[in-house]
Amino acid sequence: MSRIELAREMAVSAPTLTRLTSSLLEGALIVEDSESRPPTGRGKPSTAVKLNPEGLFTVGVYFNPDDIRICVADLEGKIRAEHVQELDDHSFDHIMGVASPAVEAVIKQAGIDRSRVLGCGLSFPGHFSRNPGHVFQIQQFSSWHDIDVNKDFDDYFDMPVFHENDGKAVVLSELYYGAGRNLRNFALIWLTYGIGGAVVVQRQLYRGTNRNAGEFGGLFPKSHPRPSGQDLCNLLSTQGINVRRLREIDESYSDHPAIRGWLDRATDQLRVLSLTVARTLDPTAIVFGGSLPDWIIRHFVEHLGSLEILGEDFHVEPPEIRLSAMSDKPHLGAATIPLYRATTPSYYSGRALKGWA
Protein backbone atom coordinates (compact mmCIF):
# COMPACT_ATOMS: atom_id res chain seq x y z
CA MET A 1 0.00 0.00 0.00
CA SER A 2 0.98 3.62 -0.40
CA ARG A 3 1.25 5.77 2.71
CA ILE A 4 -1.95 7.56 1.71
CA GLU A 5 -3.81 4.25 1.49
CA LEU A 6 -2.36 3.11 4.82
CA ALA A 7 -3.37 6.36 6.53
CA ARG A 8 -6.91 5.93 5.22
CA GLU A 9 -7.05 2.26 6.28
CA MET A 10 -5.75 3.02 9.79
CA ALA A 11 -7.79 6.22 10.21
CA VAL A 12 -4.74 8.30 11.16
CA SER A 13 -3.39 11.56 9.78
CA ALA A 14 -0.77 11.63 7.04
CA PRO A 15 1.92 13.09 9.37
CA THR A 16 1.28 10.34 11.94
CA LEU A 17 1.52 7.68 9.27
CA THR A 18 4.73 9.17 7.92
CA ARG A 19 6.28 9.14 11.40
CA LEU A 20 5.25 5.53 12.00
CA THR A 21 6.51 4.28 8.65
CA SER A 22 9.79 6.16 9.13
CA SER A 23 10.38 4.24 12.38
CA LEU A 24 9.47 0.95 10.73
CA LEU A 25 11.77 1.65 7.80
CA GLU A 26 14.61 2.50 10.16
CA GLY A 27 14.02 -0.75 12.02
CA ALA A 28 13.99 -2.68 8.71
CA LEU A 29 10.53 -4.07 9.44
CA ILE A 30 9.16 -2.60 6.22
CA VAL A 31 10.76 -1.56 2.93
CA GLU A 32 9.77 0.75 0.12
CA ASP A 33 8.60 -1.10 -2.95
CA SER A 34 11.10 -0.76 -5.75
CA GLU A 35 8.27 -0.37 -8.25
CA SER A 36 6.40 2.91 -7.78
CA ARG A 37 2.63 2.88 -7.91
CA PRO A 38 0.98 4.54 -10.94
CA PRO A 39 -0.32 8.05 -10.23
CA THR A 40 -3.98 8.33 -9.24
CA GLY A 41 -4.17 12.05 -9.98
CA ARG A 42 -1.85 15.00 -10.14
CA GLY A 43 1.67 14.80 -8.81
CA LYS A 44 4.35 12.13 -8.85
CA PRO A 45 3.52 8.43 -8.47
CA SER A 46 3.15 7.22 -4.87
CA THR A 47 5.70 4.83 -3.44
CA ALA A 48 4.29 1.74 -1.80
CA VAL A 49 5.65 0.20 1.37
CA LYS A 50 5.55 -3.49 2.18
CA LEU A 51 6.64 -5.88 4.89
CA ASN A 52 10.30 -6.84 4.85
CA PRO A 53 10.38 -10.65 5.04
CA GLU A 54 13.83 -10.40 6.65
CA GLY A 55 12.57 -7.96 9.27
CA LEU A 56 11.40 -10.50 11.85
CA PHE A 57 11.32 -14.26 12.21
CA THR A 58 9.24 -16.51 14.43
CA VAL A 59 9.59 -20.10 15.60
CA GLY A 60 6.69 -22.56 15.59
CA VAL A 61 6.44 -25.82 17.54
CA TYR A 62 3.41 -28.02 16.87
CA PHE A 63 2.74 -31.51 18.10
CA ASN A 64 -0.10 -34.00 17.97
CA PRO A 65 -0.29 -37.74 18.65
CA ASP A 66 1.42 -38.53 15.33
CA ASP A 67 4.36 -36.15 15.09
CA ILE A 68 6.12 -32.97 16.15
CA ARG A 69 6.79 -30.22 13.62
CA ILE A 70 9.10 -27.26 14.15
CA CYS A 71 9.85 -24.37 11.84
CA VAL A 72 11.31 -20.90 11.44
CA ALA A 73 9.12 -18.56 9.37
CA ASP A 74 9.61 -15.05 8.02
CA LEU A 75 7.14 -12.15 7.93
CA GLU A 76 5.61 -13.35 4.66
CA GLY A 77 4.82 -16.77 6.13
CA LYS A 78 7.57 -18.57 4.25
CA ILE A 79 9.06 -21.49 6.16
CA ARG A 80 12.84 -21.01 6.10
CA ALA A 81 13.75 -24.28 7.84
CA GLU A 82 11.81 -27.09 9.50
CA HIS A 83 12.12 -30.31 11.45
CA VAL A 84 9.50 -33.09 11.39
CA GLN A 85 9.69 -36.17 13.58
CA GLU A 86 7.24 -38.95 14.38
CA LEU A 87 6.11 -39.32 17.99
CA ASP A 88 5.61 -42.56 19.86
CA ASP A 89 6.37 -41.24 23.34
CA HIS A 90 3.83 -38.53 24.26
CA SER A 91 5.31 -37.55 27.62
CA PHE A 92 6.09 -33.89 28.30
CA ASP A 93 9.77 -34.59 28.98
CA HIS A 94 10.22 -36.47 25.71
CA ILE A 95 8.45 -33.89 23.55
CA MET A 96 10.32 -30.97 25.11
CA GLY A 97 13.54 -32.98 24.83
CA VAL A 98 12.92 -33.17 21.08
CA ALA A 99 11.65 -29.60 20.65
CA SER A 100 14.36 -27.67 22.50
CA PRO A 101 17.41 -28.78 20.46
CA ALA A 102 15.37 -28.90 17.26
CA VAL A 103 14.45 -25.21 17.63
CA GLU A 104 18.13 -24.28 17.91
CA ALA A 105 18.90 -26.49 14.92
CA VAL A 106 16.30 -24.91 12.61
CA ILE A 107 17.41 -21.38 13.57
CA LYS A 108 20.98 -22.33 12.69
CA GLN A 109 19.87 -24.07 9.50
CA ALA A 110 17.89 -21.00 8.41
CA GLY A 111 21.00 -18.85 8.83
CA ILE A 112 19.07 -15.92 10.32
CA ASP A 113 20.04 -13.20 12.76
CA ARG A 114 19.04 -14.49 16.20
CA SER A 115 18.26 -10.94 17.36
CA ARG A 116 15.50 -10.84 14.73
CA VAL A 117 13.63 -13.81 16.25
CA LEU A 118 10.48 -12.43 17.86
CA GLY A 119 9.56 -15.51 19.87
CA CYS A 120 8.37 -19.11 19.84
CA GLY A 121 4.77 -20.20 19.45
CA LEU A 122 3.58 -23.62 20.61
CA SER A 123 0.35 -25.30 19.60
CA PHE A 124 -1.16 -28.66 20.50
CA PRO A 125 -4.56 -30.35 20.78
CA GLY A 126 -6.73 -29.52 23.77
CA HIS A 127 -9.08 -26.90 25.18
CA PHE A 128 -8.78 -24.51 28.10
CA SER A 129 -10.07 -25.09 31.62
CA ARG A 130 -10.88 -22.77 34.52
CA ASN A 131 -7.25 -22.94 35.57
CA PRO A 132 -5.37 -20.65 33.13
CA GLY A 133 -2.36 -22.92 33.16
CA HIS A 134 -4.22 -26.16 32.58
CA VAL A 135 -5.34 -27.40 29.19
CA PHE A 136 -7.55 -30.47 28.91
CA GLN A 137 -5.65 -32.80 26.60
CA ILE A 138 -6.85 -35.54 24.30
CA GLN A 139 -6.29 -39.06 25.59
CA GLN A 140 -2.80 -39.43 24.08
CA PHE A 141 -1.57 -36.53 26.26
CA SER A 142 -3.39 -37.52 29.45
CA SER A 143 -0.08 -37.64 31.37
CA TRP A 144 0.16 -33.83 31.06
CA HIS A 145 -2.36 -33.14 33.85
CA ASP A 146 0.29 -31.55 36.11
CA ILE A 147 1.83 -29.35 33.40
CA ASP A 148 1.32 -25.58 33.69
CA VAL A 149 1.35 -24.39 30.08
CA ASN A 150 1.90 -20.78 31.17
CA LYS A 151 5.21 -21.58 32.90
CA ASP A 152 6.59 -25.00 32.09
CA PHE A 153 7.50 -24.35 28.43
CA ASP A 154 9.68 -21.32 29.14
CA ASP A 155 12.77 -23.14 30.45
CA TYR A 156 13.20 -25.06 27.19
CA PHE A 157 13.50 -22.10 24.83
CA ASP A 158 15.84 -19.12 24.96
CA MET A 159 13.18 -16.66 23.80
CA PRO A 160 9.64 -15.53 24.71
CA VAL A 161 7.14 -18.40 24.47
CA PHE A 162 3.43 -18.12 23.60
CA HIS A 163 0.87 -20.88 23.19
CA GLU A 164 -2.57 -21.60 21.76
CA ASN A 165 -4.34 -24.83 21.01
CA ASP A 166 -4.03 -26.18 17.47
CA GLY A 167 -7.26 -24.77 16.02
CA LYS A 168 -6.63 -21.22 17.22
CA ALA A 169 -3.02 -21.31 16.04
CA VAL A 170 -3.93 -22.52 12.56
CA VAL A 171 -6.67 -19.91 12.18
CA LEU A 172 -3.99 -17.23 12.65
CA SER A 173 -1.95 -18.60 9.74
CA GLU A 174 -5.18 -18.73 7.70
CA LEU A 175 -5.79 -15.10 8.66
CA TYR A 176 -2.37 -13.89 7.49
CA TYR A 177 -1.42 -16.29 4.71
CA GLY A 178 -4.31 -18.56 3.75
CA ALA A 179 -8.03 -18.67 3.09
CA GLY A 180 -8.77 -15.77 5.44
CA ARG A 181 -6.23 -13.35 4.05
CA ASN A 182 -8.91 -11.16 2.43
CA LEU A 183 -11.73 -11.94 4.86
CA ARG A 184 -12.85 -9.99 7.91
CA ASN A 185 -15.07 -12.70 9.41
CA PHE A 186 -14.64 -16.45 9.08
CA ALA A 187 -14.63 -19.67 11.08
CA LEU A 188 -12.31 -22.67 11.03
CA ILE A 189 -13.46 -26.22 11.73
CA TRP A 190 -10.35 -28.24 12.58
CA LEU A 191 -10.67 -32.03 12.36
CA THR A 192 -7.94 -34.19 13.88
CA TYR A 193 -8.21 -36.99 16.43
CA GLY A 194 -10.64 -34.58 18.08
CA ILE A 195 -12.75 -31.69 16.80
CA GLY A 196 -11.69 -28.10 17.30
CA GLY A 197 -11.79 -24.77 15.56
CA ALA A 198 -11.62 -21.04 15.92
CA VAL A 199 -13.48 -17.85 15.02
CA VAL A 200 -12.14 -14.62 13.50
CA VAL A 201 -14.27 -11.49 13.93
CA GLN A 202 -13.19 -8.26 12.24
CA ARG A 203 -9.74 -9.82 11.62
CA GLN A 204 -9.22 -10.56 15.30
CA LEU A 205 -9.14 -13.97 16.93
CA TYR A 206 -12.27 -14.21 19.05
CA ARG A 207 -11.40 -16.29 22.12
CA GLY A 208 -14.57 -15.94 24.19
CA THR A 209 -15.02 -15.58 27.95
CA ASN A 210 -13.09 -18.76 28.81
CA ARG A 211 -10.83 -18.79 25.71
CA ASN A 212 -12.88 -21.66 24.26
CA ALA A 213 -14.75 -19.96 21.42
CA GLY A 214 -14.81 -22.21 18.40
CA GLU A 215 -14.35 -25.44 20.34
CA PHE A 216 -16.96 -27.12 18.18
CA GLY A 217 -16.21 -30.62 19.43
CA GLY A 218 -18.36 -29.93 22.49
CA LEU A 219 -21.43 -30.21 20.26
CA PHE A 220 -20.59 -33.88 19.74
CA PRO A 221 -20.25 -35.73 23.08
CA LYS A 222 -17.44 -38.27 23.21
CA SER A 223 -19.87 -40.88 24.48
CA HIS A 224 -21.63 -40.79 21.08
CA PRO A 225 -20.48 -41.26 17.48
CA ARG A 226 -18.82 -38.05 16.29
CA PRO A 227 -17.00 -36.75 13.18
CA SER A 228 -13.53 -37.08 14.69
CA GLY A 229 -10.40 -38.98 13.75
CA GLN A 230 -10.43 -40.96 16.98
CA ASP A 231 -14.02 -41.99 16.32
CA LEU A 232 -12.97 -43.21 12.86
CA CYS A 233 -10.02 -45.15 14.29
CA ASN A 234 -12.30 -46.77 16.88
CA LEU A 235 -14.75 -47.77 14.14
CA LEU A 236 -11.98 -49.32 12.04
CA SER A 237 -10.76 -51.22 15.08
CA THR A 238 -14.18 -52.89 15.39
CA GLN A 239 -13.70 -54.00 11.77
CA GLY A 240 -10.35 -55.61 12.58
CA ILE A 241 -8.38 -52.74 11.02
CA ASN A 242 -5.86 -51.18 13.38
CA VAL A 243 -4.24 -47.94 12.30
CA ARG A 244 -1.40 -46.28 14.23
CA ARG A 245 -1.68 -42.86 12.60
CA LEU A 246 -4.47 -41.04 10.82
CA ARG A 247 -2.49 -40.68 7.60
CA GLU A 248 -2.52 -44.47 7.25
CA ILE A 249 -6.22 -44.19 6.29
CA ASP A 250 -5.48 -43.47 2.64
CA GLU A 251 -7.94 -43.29 -0.24
CA SER A 252 -7.78 -47.05 -0.77
CA TYR A 253 -10.19 -47.26 2.19
CA SER A 254 -12.81 -45.08 0.48
CA ASP A 255 -14.85 -48.04 -0.78
CA HIS A 256 -14.88 -49.88 2.55
CA PRO A 257 -18.53 -50.16 3.69
CA ALA A 258 -17.72 -49.02 7.23
CA ILE A 259 -15.82 -45.98 5.92
CA ARG A 260 -18.64 -45.06 3.53
CA GLY A 261 -21.15 -45.26 6.36
CA TRP A 262 -18.92 -43.15 8.60
CA LEU A 263 -18.47 -40.52 5.89
CA ASP A 264 -22.23 -40.25 5.35
CA ARG A 265 -22.92 -39.88 9.05
CA ALA A 266 -20.02 -37.49 9.68
CA THR A 267 -21.04 -35.33 6.71
CA ASP A 268 -24.55 -34.99 8.13
CA GLN A 269 -23.13 -34.04 11.53
CA LEU A 270 -20.85 -31.42 9.98
CA ARG A 271 -23.75 -30.09 7.93
CA VAL A 272 -25.61 -29.34 11.17
CA LEU A 273 -22.45 -27.77 12.61
CA SER A 274 -22.01 -25.61 9.48
CA LEU A 275 -25.62 -24.50 9.70
CA THR A 276 -25.12 -23.57 13.37
CA VAL A 277 -21.98 -21.58 12.57
CA ALA A 278 -23.65 -19.84 9.64
CA ARG A 279 -26.73 -18.89 11.65
CA THR A 280 -24.93 -17.70 14.78
CA LEU A 281 -21.81 -16.03 13.36
CA ASP A 282 -22.84 -15.10 9.79
CA PRO A 283 -19.24 -15.50 8.52
CA THR A 284 -18.08 -14.92 4.97
CA ALA A 285 -16.54 -18.40 4.89
CA ILE A 286 -16.26 -21.61 6.87
CA VAL A 287 -12.85 -23.22 6.41
CA PHE A 288 -12.29 -26.96 6.92
CA GLY A 289 -8.87 -28.42 7.70
CA GLY A 290 -6.99 -30.73 10.02
CA SER A 291 -4.88 -33.86 10.19
CA LEU A 292 -7.65 -36.11 8.95
CA PRO A 293 -6.54 -37.48 5.56
CA ASP A 294 -6.88 -34.92 2.77
CA TRP A 295 -9.33 -37.05 0.81
CA ILE A 296 -11.73 -37.15 3.76
CA ILE A 297 -11.66 -33.39 4.34
CA ARG A 298 -12.11 -32.80 0.60
CA HIS A 299 -15.15 -35.08 0.74
CA PHE A 300 -16.68 -32.94 3.48
CA VAL A 301 -16.01 -29.67 1.63
CA GLU A 302 -17.46 -30.99 -1.63
CA HIS A 303 -20.60 -32.33 0.02
CA LEU A 304 -21.18 -29.29 2.23
CA GLY A 305 -20.74 -26.71 -0.50
CA SER A 306 -24.42 -26.51 -1.43
CA LEU A 307 -26.94 -23.92 -0.30
CA GLU A 308 -29.05 -26.60 1.35
CA ILE A 309 -26.91 -26.58 4.50
CA LEU A 310 -28.40 -23.23 5.45
CA GLY A 311 -32.06 -24.13 5.34
CA GLU A 312 -34.82 -23.06 2.98
CA ASP A 313 -35.41 -19.66 4.59
CA PHE A 314 -31.86 -18.34 4.35
CA HIS A 315 -32.24 -15.27 2.17
CA VAL A 316 -28.73 -13.80 2.02
CA GLU A 317 -25.47 -14.97 0.52
CA PRO A 318 -24.40 -18.12 2.40
CA PRO A 319 -20.87 -18.54 3.74
CA GLU A 320 -18.48 -20.19 1.33
CA ILE A 321 -17.23 -23.62 2.35
CA ARG A 322 -13.46 -23.61 1.81
CA LEU A 323 -10.62 -26.08 2.11
CA SER A 324 -7.79 -24.98 4.39
CA ALA A 325 -4.42 -24.40 2.77
CA MET A 326 -2.69 -24.91 6.12
CA SER A 327 -3.53 -28.52 7.02
CA ASP A 328 -0.02 -29.68 6.13
CA LYS A 329 1.63 -26.67 7.83
CA PRO A 330 0.24 -26.54 11.39
CA HIS A 331 3.70 -25.50 12.65
CA LEU A 332 3.34 -22.31 10.60
CA GLY A 333 0.20 -21.64 12.64
CA ALA A 334 2.27 -22.02 15.80
CA ALA A 335 4.88 -19.65 14.38
CA THR A 336 2.18 -17.05 13.76
CA ILE A 337 1.24 -16.81 17.46
CA PRO A 338 4.14 -14.50 18.50
CA LEU A 339 3.46 -12.24 15.51
CA TYR A 340 -0.24 -11.98 16.35
CA ARG A 341 0.50 -11.27 20.01
CA ALA A 342 3.03 -8.55 19.12
CA THR A 343 0.70 -6.75 16.72
CA THR A 344 -2.57 -7.01 18.63
CA PRO A 345 -3.09 -4.05 21.00
CA SER A 346 -5.14 -6.00 23.55
CA TYR A 347 -2.09 -8.13 24.39
CA TYR A 348 0.16 -5.11 24.96
CA SER A 349 0.75 -4.29 28.64
CA GLY A 350 3.35 -1.53 28.36
CA ARG A 351 3.01 2.25 28.21
CA ALA A 352 1.21 3.83 25.30
CA LEU A 353 3.66 6.04 23.40
CA LYS A 354 3.55 7.95 20.16
CA GLY A 355 5.80 6.31 17.63
CA TRP A 356 8.54 4.11 19.00
CA ALA A 357 10.49 4.27 22.25
Q: Minimal CA–CA distance to 173: which of 314, 69, 89?
A: 69
DSSP letters, 247-268, are: GGS-GGGTT-HHHHHHHHHHHH
- pLDDT computed for residue 347 by the predictor: 79
Residue 178 phi/psi, 5-degree rounding, is: -120, -135
3-state class of 196 per DSSP?
strand
Read off the DSSP letter of residue 23. H
Q: How many CB atoms lie within 10 A of CB 92?
A: 15
Find the distance separating the first CA and the last CA of the chain, reported in whole Å.
25
Q: What is the pTM of this model?
A: 0.89
22 Cβ contact partners less than 8 Å away, ≥ 6 residues apart: none
User: In whole angstroms, what is the distance from residue 124 CA to residue 165 CA?
Assistant: 5
Taken in order of first residue, the domains within the chain and their CATH numbers are 3-51 (no CATH), 57-170+330-347 (3.30.420.40), 181-323 (3.30.420.40)
Residue 240's region, left for phi above 0, alpha for psi from -120 to 50, else beta, is left
3-state class of 48 per DSSP?
strand
Residues with pLDDT less than 70, the chain: 34-45, 127-138, 306-315, 352-357
Angle at 67 between CA 171 and CA 105, to 5 degrees: 90
- pLDDT computed for residue 356 by the predictor: 47
3-state class of 238 per DSSP?
helix
- pLDDT computed for residue 117 by the predictor: 96
User: In whole angstroms, what is the distance from residue 143 CA to residue 296 CA?
Assistant: 30
Residue 135 phi/psi, 5-degree rounding, is: -115, 125
Where do runs of H (alpha helix) occur along the chain?
Answer: 3-10, 14-26, 92-110, 166-177, 229-238, 257-281, 294-304, 330-343
DSSP letters, 293-357, are: -HHHHHHHHHHH-SGGGG-TT--SPPPEEEE-S-TT-HHHHHHHHHHHHHH-GGG--S---SS--
User: In whole angstroms, what is the distance from residue 277 CA to residue 147 CA?
Assistant: 33
Beta bridge partners of 120: 59, 161
Q: Minimal CA–CA distance to 233: which of 215, 253, 216?
A: 253
- pLDDT computed for residue 171 by the predictor: 97
- pLDDT computed for residue 61 by the predictor: 97
